[in-house]
């Protein structure tokens, strides 16, 4: 939360118990950097992508999501709604 930078190959994957718009919402209060936020459903399809700006109250996906991927802003153009992702870890569920 109090980081001043994020390397291109760094990020955070948040895993929710179920697909939901409310539980997968994020806030940017106390953040010192902007982020690319990618919301992903249980089938690993991207349901929303937003550029989250620091100190913004809240961001929620347009469709229910199970995973929230937070990345540096320079990764924004790599993701589009409808794209399917593949994770290498097998214990995401």
Condensed to tens digits (0 to 9), the pLDDT of residues 9-26 reads 899 999 999 999 999 999
Q: Is 22 helix (H, G, I), strand (E, B) or coil?
A: coil
**pTM for the structure as a whole:** 0.89
**For residue 7, is pLDDT > 60?**
yes
Q: In the prediction, which pLDDT does 92 show? A: 53
Separation of alpha carbons 32 and 30, rounded Å: 6
Of 36, 24, 25, the C-alpha closest to 66 is 24
Distance of CA 52 to the CA centre of its chain: 9
Separation of alpha carbons 22 and 1, rounded Å: 20
Extended strands (E) in the chain: 12-20, 35-40, 46-52, 65-71
pLDDT digits (tens, 9 = 90+) for 29-74: 999 999 999 999 999 999 999 999 999 999 999 999 999 999 999 9
């Amino acid at each position: 939360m109090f980081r001043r930078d994020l390397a291109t190959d760094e990020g955070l994957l948040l895993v929710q118990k179920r697909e939901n718009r409310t539980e997968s919402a994020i806030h940017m209060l106390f953040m010192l950097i902007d982020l690319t936020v990618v919301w992903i459903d249980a089938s690993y399809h991207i349901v929303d992508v937003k550029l989250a700006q620091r100190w913004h109250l809240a961001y929620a996906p347009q469709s229910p999501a199970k995973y929230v991927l937070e990345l540096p802003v320079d990764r924004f153009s790599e993701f589009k709604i409808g794209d399917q992702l593949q994770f290498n870890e097998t214990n995401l569920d």
